């Protein structure tokens, strides 16, 4: 049996978790269940990040102690994970004495192994307490580039980690482990960030008290990120005795197979963390996977913007209206099916309800009810005999084998939407098979009645396979289908990597069909969710949006307009690569009247760019035209078409775009500055 160790980030315990926070945890829960079903022994760690100045200040505002605040919020997190059926095996609270011991052990070990990796020096600079971000290494006043608030002056002696000495080692690591960071485009950002040179980082604080004391120098506490990252090891029992690696759990599970994180914290995980571990002479995690953000109304869901959806209203409202436990499965299915894992994706209640009704209730739910109903009606509830293998009733067996393979291939790459789509191909195929064969008509037709048993066997066996396949994503529904099929134990006790046709024994007694996903009235459901949202919505407290990517951190502008206007430095502006391009081809994107797909020569290459100009320009008007392209934007998909850059345009008062052009001639590829 192989072991598999997977972690989520540990969550800031300064506010209530929302759907965006739960996204990482749900994805990891799905992976953990899947890996268990592949026969692995899985450790799945999550936790709460309970130190730092923002917690200290948040508690102060509420007139309670930091310990009271984190106790309260820790409970909110664990209650939610329980409600969402998150099956983690390890939970770390960074305020626990065990965790503190581990953090201290790590720094002691580092100093023993690499005597000059940590040194003491005076630090003067500006620091944003909301983002835990060093804004500038000079005492001059500066605003945080992320939230726009004035950064605080810090002038104190700190312990520094000599990150600058790890540039070559990190680059070698990246070369030798081409999957160390996934997806690839994020890995490229990380490499560029490290190639540009690394500065040493301060890893202690003197000005605050709410943290883990530095060993033998208790005037200092650890910087929250050094403290928080160590949770991935402390949760396994690291650092509890003289021999800091002695814990059997630690020996068994470390290093982590995957640290699953959101994209904005990649620098800490793919640069700082491996360097900390290298300096301590400890094995490095095998992979950092950075998923994208859940956007709500096109902006990152975040408390400071108030554009938040919480999980509890969704789950509770759906359960209540369906009169059955369907909410968790619906949320998991929607998040993993609709958002391409790794990219940003929009969250919408309407889209969630559409998926619920069309996929879960209509496709899967109907398949289960009619199959079980017909076995009840025509065979007295007993699963009939299949056809002999040499004369299969249909192509379902072959189709199933292919669907299982594609599903697993997708899952192994964390391409959940692709995997689910492949699995759903089977749902569609079986439904189609029932429409084609019409078992209800066969039952009435003596000439065809003989085929009825094999047809229903094939449908029921497909349903069994689907229950196993979808158990990680739809644990409640899969169990429900399993039980209705009259099967013992649970689909999660089956091996998904050994899933083959024919596991359903003829003679098995099915139970009475019950709807797995009762249909819901979309409008009523949305209204109920919104009403429940209101009940738990709290007054917004300032918590800042974070930076988009490692390459852009720390100076990139936030994705949404912050409350305070942001001024950027010339260096920040220089990061935006704008080039003159020439449009080679142009065509409208199907299914929308706004978008146009362009291929643009930018001097070094021809790029595909999707532009929102189709309402104002005809394709033939733009072909041959010189335009301005933002060339170093992350690729993103618009209506399924990848856009590799952005065309710059001004906006008229009526919202229509005007392409940016030049009066004088300018060569293709010229850079704007």
Instruction: Report the interface residues with ligand ME8, using CB under 6 A.
Output: 9-12, 20-21, 23-24, 49, 228-229, 231, 261-262, 264-265, 293-294, 300-301
Q: In the complex with ligand ME8, which residue's Cβ is closer, 101 or 408? A: 101
Q: In the complex with ligand ME8, which residue's Cβ is closer, 234 or 366? A: 234
Q: List the alpha helices (DSSP H) in 38-96.
A: 53-62, 66-83
Q: In the complex with ligand ME8, which residue's Cβ is closer, 298 or 358? A: 298
User: Which pair of structure tokens corresponds to residue 391?
Assistant: 């004369």
Distance (Å, whole) CA 270 – CA 288: 7
User: Which pair of structure tokens corresponds to residue 25?
Assistant: 């945890």
Pair 341, 261: CB distance under 8 Å: no
Pair 20, 301: CB distance under 8 Å: yes
445-467 exposure pattern, b = at least 16 Cβ within 10 A, e = fewer: eeeeeeebbbbbbbbbbbbbbbb
* Angle between helix 327-338 and 416-437 (nearest 10): 110
Q: List the alpha helices (DSSP H) in 265-395.
A: 266-267, 273-280, 311-322, 327-338, 349-355, 366-379
Q: In the complex with ligand ME8, which residue's Cβ is closer, 255 or 603? A: 255
For ligand ME8, which residue has the nearest CB? 262
Distance (Å, whole) CA 467 – CA 490: 9
Distance (Å, whole) CA 276 – CA 375: 61
Q: In the complex with ligand ME8, which residue's Cβ is closer, 288 or 372? A: 288
CB of 340 to ligand ME8, least distance (A): 13
CB of 600 to ligand ME8, least distance (A): 31
Q: In the complex with ligand ME8, which residue's Cβ is closer, 15 or 431? A: 15
CB of 261 to ligand ME8, least distance (A): 5
Handedness of CA 30, 35, 38, 40 (dihedral sign): negative
CB of 192 to ligand ME8, least distance (A): 21
CB of 80 to ligand ME8, least distance (A): 13
CB of 631 to ligand ME8, least distance (A): 26
Distance (Å, whole) CA 632 – CA 536: 40
Residues 6+ positions from 32 with CB-CB distance below 8 Å: 6, 42, 44, 87, 88, 89
Q: In the complex with ligand ME8, which residue's Cβ is closer, 233 or 477? A: 233
Residues facing 636 on adjacent strands? 643
CB of 294 to ligand ME8, least distance (A): 4
Segment (H or E) for 192: helix 184-195
Q: Which residue in 6, 20, 16 sits closest to 262, CA to CA?
A: 20
Distance (Å, whole) CA 478 – CA 470: 6
CB of 231 to ligand ME8, least distance (A): 6
Distance (Å, whole) CA 183 – CA 549: 12
CB of 254 to ligand ME8, least distance (A): 15
Handedness of CA 389, 395, 396, 401 (dihedral sign): positive
CB of 135 to ligand ME8, least distance (A): 18
Distance (Å, whole) CA 358 – CA 56: 47
CB of 13 to ligand ME8, least distance (A): 8
* Angle between helix 475-484 and 327-338 (nearest 10): 120
Segment (H or E) for 153: strand 152-161
Residue 67's alpha-carbon distances to 27, 75, 94, 211, 286, in angstroms, are: 30, 12, 11, 11, 34
Residues facing 599 on adjacent strands? 585, 608
User: Which pair of structure tokens corresponds to residue 236?
Assistant: 């396994």
CB of 633 to ligand ME8, least distance (A): 19
Segment (H or E) for 628: strand 626-630
Q: In the complex with ligand ME8, which residue's Cβ is closer, 11 or 333? A: 11
Pair 168, 191: CB distance under 8 Å: no
CB of 267 to ligand ME8, least distance (A): 11
Q: Which residue in 375, 393, 391 sits closest to 463, CA to CA?
A: 375
Q: In the complex with ligand ME8, which residue's Cβ is closer, 293 or 517? A: 293
Q: In the complex with ligand ME8, which residue's Cβ is closer, 265 or 628? A: 265
Q: In the complex with ligand ME8, which residue's Cβ is closer, 81 or 457? A: 81
Side-chain half-sphere CA neighbours of 234 within 13 A: 28
Pair 264, 549: CB distance under 8 Å: yes
> 628 φ, ψ to 5°?
-105, 130
Q: In the complex with ligand ME8, which residue's Cβ is closer, 28 or 596? A: 28
Distance (Å, whole) CA 303 – CA 309: 10
Q: In the complex with ligand ME8, which residue's Cβ is closer, 543 or 613? A: 543
Q: In the complex with ligand ME8, which residue's Cβ is closer, 259 or 528? A: 259
Q: In the complex with ligand ME8, which residue's Cβ is closer, 299 or 490? A: 299
CB of 198 to ligand ME8, least distance (A): 19
User: Which pair of structure tokens corresponds to residue 261?
Assistant: 């994180």
CB of 142 to ligand ME8, least distance (A): 22
């Amino acid at each position: 049996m192989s072991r598999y160790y997977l972690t989520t980030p540990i969550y800031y315990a300064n506010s209530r978790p929302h759907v965006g926070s739960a996204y990482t945890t749900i994805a990891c829960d799905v992976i953990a269940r899947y890996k268990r079903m592949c026969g692995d022994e899985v450790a799945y760690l999550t936790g709460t990040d309970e130190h730092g100045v923002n917690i200290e200040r948040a508690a102060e505002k509420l007139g309670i102690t930091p310990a009271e605040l984190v106790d309260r919020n820790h409970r909110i997190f664990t209650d939610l994970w329980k409600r969402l059926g998150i099956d983690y095996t390890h939970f770390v609270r960074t305020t626990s004495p065990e965790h503190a011991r581990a953090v201290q052990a790590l720094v002691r070990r580092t100093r023993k192994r690499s005597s000059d990796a940590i040194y003491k020096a005076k630090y003067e600079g500006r620091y944003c307490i909301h983002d835990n971000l060093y804004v500038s290494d000079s005492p001059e006043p500066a605003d945080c580039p992320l939230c726009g608030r004035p950064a605080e002056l810090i002038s104190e002696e700190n312990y520094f980690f000599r990150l600058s000495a790890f540039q070559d080692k990190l680059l070698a690591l990246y070369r030798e482990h081409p999957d160390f960071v996934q997806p690839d485009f994020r890995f490229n950002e990380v490499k560029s960030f490290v190639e540009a040179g690394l500065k040493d980082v301060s890893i202690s604080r003197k000005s605050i008290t709410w943290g883990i004391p530095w060993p033998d120098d208790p005037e200092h506490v650890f910087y929250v990120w050094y403290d928080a990252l160590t949770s991935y090891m402390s949760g396994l029992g690291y650092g509890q005795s003289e021999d800091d690696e002695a814990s059997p759990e630690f020996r068994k599970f470390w290093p982590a197979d995957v640290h699953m994180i959101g994209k904005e914290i990649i620098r800490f995980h793919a640069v700082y963390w491996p360097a900390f571990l290298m300096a301590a002479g400890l094995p490095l995690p095998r992979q950092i996977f950075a998923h994208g953000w859940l956007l709500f109304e096109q902006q990152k869901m975040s408390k400071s913007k108030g554009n938040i959806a919480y999980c509890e209203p969704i789950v509770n409202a759906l359960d209540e209206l369906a009169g059955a436990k369907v909410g968790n499965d619906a949320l998991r299915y929607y998040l993993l099916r609709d958002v391409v894992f790794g990219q940003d994706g929009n969250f919408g209640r309407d889209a969630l309800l559409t998926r619920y009704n069309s996929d879960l209730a209509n496709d899967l739910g109907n398949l289960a009810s009619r199959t079980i109903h017909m076995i009840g009606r025509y065979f007295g509830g007993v699963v009939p005999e299949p056809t002999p293998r040499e004369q299969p009733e249909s192509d379902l067996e072959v189709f199933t084998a292919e669907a299982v393979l594609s599903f697993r291939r997708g899952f192994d790459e964390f391409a959940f939407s692709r995997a689910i789509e492949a699995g759903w191909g089977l749902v569609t195929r079986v439904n189609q098979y029932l429409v084609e064969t019409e078992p209800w008509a066969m039952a009435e037709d003596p000439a065809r009645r003989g085929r009825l048993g094999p047809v229903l066997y094939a449908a029921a066996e497909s349903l069994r396979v689907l229950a196993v396949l979808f158990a990680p994503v739809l644990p409640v529904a899969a169990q429900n289908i399993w039980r209705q099929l009259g099967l013992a134990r649970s689909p999660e006790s089956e091996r998904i990597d050994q899933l083959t046709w024919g596991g359903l024994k003829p003679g098995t007694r099915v139970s009475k069909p019950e709807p797995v996903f009762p249909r819901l009235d979309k409008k009523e459901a949305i209204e109920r969710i919104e009403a429940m949202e209101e009940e738990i919505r709290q007054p917004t407290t300032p918590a800042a949006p974070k930076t988009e990517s490692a390459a852009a951190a720390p100076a990139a502008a936030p994705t949404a307009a912050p409350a305070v206007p942001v001024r950027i430095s010339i260096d920040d502006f220089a990061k935006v690569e704008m080039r003159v391009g020439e449009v080679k081809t142009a065509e409208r994107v199907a299914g929308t009247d706004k978008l146009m797909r362009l291929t643009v020569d930018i001097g070094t290459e021809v790029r595909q760019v999707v532009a929102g100009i189709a309402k104002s320009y005809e394709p033939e008007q733009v072909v041959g035209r010189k335009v301005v392209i933002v060339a170093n934007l992350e690729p993103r998909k618009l209506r399924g078409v990848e856009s590799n850059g952005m065309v710059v345009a001004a906006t008229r008062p009526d919202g229509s775009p005007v392409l940016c052009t030049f009066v004088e001639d300018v060569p293709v590829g010229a850079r704007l500055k």
